């Protein structure tokens, strides 16, 4: 795990109703690795087809989701596997039996002889080995097909195994996947892949700058390291015409489990993923509104903002106070089911930026008392189209 790893509690919009530890459950990264290795070893399990191996991994996650505060004791069973992972009770029972035979779970002694359901004991996560997983990943949100069901239907145990490992490789301050694994910051720029040049496009009334970039973005991904060896195991992942590391990430994106996010960052250094100084996310409603407001303000000037962005073929823009003198843009990947901690950190940071931008808009308004009414009218008209 990276030093930036953190508890991956789900966001408010992905919050399931459940008991136990709250909105997340914990598994041990070494146990998860051992289960995966056992399933690939025919000496332990005989030959398992991919669907059956995926079902066993999914069953372990369902049982783990049903644990209480001890992260060990679970009363969930094959019925919960059917409810959340989408496979039958009978195949769920077989999958759980495999986990028991391999020694990854045990059946607790029944307190009452009349009790119908088993209580299972899972391996207690060791300190430092914890992977924090949102319960919404298993239980779903608002009647959706659950993430665990989507992954089960893919029938690729390697995809499910590595997807869960991503939760141990998080950059907590931005709530993104460790940028050393996949981001635009690990691209080696040369004459064939030139560094994207962030341009100062426009200044509004001496208060706000609009920055933009064209021909963006080129991302790269680590193919060999402590996460996984995609070079040796290239053919385990296929998506459309891709194989290997990009097939893995793009498959997760196609399943709605991974998102691309772009940030404006301080400075012009594209080279070090470990030294990110983020300012704000680009693709937000607030940033879209700021751009529209400034575009409206620029209508009566010599060159309108939208004309500038079109002429330079600008693909991404950000509005910032003029105090930011050097910035660059960077792309990252973010898990759809993610942490409250990361979201809260990010929201607090962007809240401060947005407050400063709104203060500067207020200063601009003071320069023309009728300005706000004109901008609001035009803004509503544009949004109504």
Would you state the pLDDT for residue 157? 97
Q: 275-290 pLDDT, tens per residue?
A: 888 899 998 999 999 9
Would you state the pLDDT for residue 336? 94
Question: Where is average pLDDT lowest: 21-25, 68-72, 150-154, 177-181?
Answer: 21-25
DSSP secondary structure of 20-60: TTSSEEEEEHHHHHHHHHHHH-HHHH----HHHHHHHHHHH
* 361 Cβ contact partners less than 8 Å away, ≥ 6 residues apart: 207, 208, 290, 293
* 275 Cβ contact partners less than 8 Å away, ≥ 6 residues apart: 269
Q: Is 353 exposed, middle or buried (0-12, 13-18, 19+ CB in 10 A)?
A: buried
The first and second tokens of residue 232, run together, are 């040796």
Preceding omega of 217 cis (within 30 degrees of 0): yes
Q: 220-253 pLDDT, tens per residue?
A: 899 999 999 999 999 999 999 999 999 999 999 9
Would you state the pLDDT for residue 188? 54
Query: What value does the mean pLDDT take over residues 201-228?
Result: 89
50-65 and 29-40 are packed helices; what angle lies between their axes, rounded to 10 degrees? Answer: 160
* 259 Cβ contact partners less than 8 Å away, ≥ 6 residues apart: 253, 333, 334, 335, 336
pLDDT, the chain, mean? 86
The first and second tokens of residue 243, run together, are 């194989």
Q: Can you tell me which residue has the tokens 């996984």?
A: 228
Q: How far is CA 270 from the centre of its chain?
A: 21
Model confidence pTM above 0.75: yes
Q: Is 223 exposed, middle or buried (0-12, 13-18, 19+ CB in 10 A)?
A: middle
Q: 103-142 pLDDT, tens per residue?
A: 999 998 776 655 677 899 999 999 999 999 999 999 999 8
Rounded-to-integer distance, Cα 228 and Cα 335, Å: 18
Would you state the pLDDT for residue 341? 59
Q: What phi and psi values does residue 164 have, to the nearest 5 degrees?
A: -65, -35
Q: How far is CA 120 from the centre of its chain?
A: 31
The neighbouring-strand residues paired with 107 are 120
Rounded-to-integer distance, Cα 140 and Cα 117, Å: 24
DSSP secondary structure of 88-135: -HHHHHHHHHHHHHTTSEEEPPPSSTT--S--EEEPPPPTT-EEEEET
Query: What value does the mean pLDDT take over residues 57-82?
Result: 96
Q: Where are the domains of the chain?
A: 12-168, 182-223+255-384
Query: What value does the mean pLDDT take over residues 179-195?
Result: 70
Query: What value does the mean pLDDT take over residues 146-168?
Result: 97
Q: 72-107 pLDDT, tens per residue?
A: 999 999 999 999 999 999 999 999 999 999 999 999
């Amino acid at each position: 795990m990276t030093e930036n790893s953190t508890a991956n509690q789900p966001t408010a919009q992905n919050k399931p109703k459940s008991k136990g530890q709250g909105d997340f459950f914990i598994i041990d990264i070494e146990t998860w690795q051992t289960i995966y290795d056992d399933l690939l070893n025919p000496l332990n399990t005989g030959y398992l087809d991919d669907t059956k191996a995926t079902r066993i991994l999914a069953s372990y996650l369902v049982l783990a989701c049903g644990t209480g505060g001890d992260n060990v004791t679970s009363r969930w069973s094959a019925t919960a596997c059917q409810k959340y992972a989408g496979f039958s009770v009978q195949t769920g029972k077989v999958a759980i039996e495999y986990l028991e035979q391999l020694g990854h779970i045990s059946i607790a002694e029944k307190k009452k002889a009349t009790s119908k359901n088993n209580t299972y004991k899972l391996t207690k996560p060791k300190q430092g080995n914890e992977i924090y997983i949102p319960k919404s990943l298993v239980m779903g949100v608002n009647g959706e097909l659950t993430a665990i069901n989507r992954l089960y239907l893919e029938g690729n145990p390697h995809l499910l195994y590595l997807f869960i490992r991503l939760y141990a490789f998080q950059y907590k301050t931005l709530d993104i996947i460790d940028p050393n694994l996949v981001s635009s910051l690990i691209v080696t720029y040369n004459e064939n892949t030139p560094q994207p040049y962030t341009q100062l496009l426009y200044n509004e009334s001496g208060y706000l700058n609009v920055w933009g970039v064209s021909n963006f973005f080129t991302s790269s991904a680590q193919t060999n390291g402590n996460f996984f060896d995609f070079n040796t195991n290239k053919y385990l992942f296929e998506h459309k015409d891709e194989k290997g590391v990009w097939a893995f990430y793009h498959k997760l994106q196609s399943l709605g489990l991974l998102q691309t996010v772009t940030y404006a960052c301080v400075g012009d250094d594209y080279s070090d993923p470990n030294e990110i100084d983020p300012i704000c996310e680009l693709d937000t409603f607030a940033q879209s509104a700021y751009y529209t407001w400034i575009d409206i303000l620029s209508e009566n000037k010599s060159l309108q903002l939208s004309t500038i962005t079109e002429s330079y073929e600008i693909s991404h823009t950000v509005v910032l106070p003029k105090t930011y003198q050097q910035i660059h843009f960077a792309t990252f990947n973010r898990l759809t089911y993610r942490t409250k901690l990361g979201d809260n950190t990010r929201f607090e940071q962007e809240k401060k930026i947005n407050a400063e931008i709104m203060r500067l808009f207020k200063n601009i308004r003071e320069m023309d008392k009728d300005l706000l009414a004109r901008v609001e009218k035009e803004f509503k008209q544009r949004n109504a189209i």
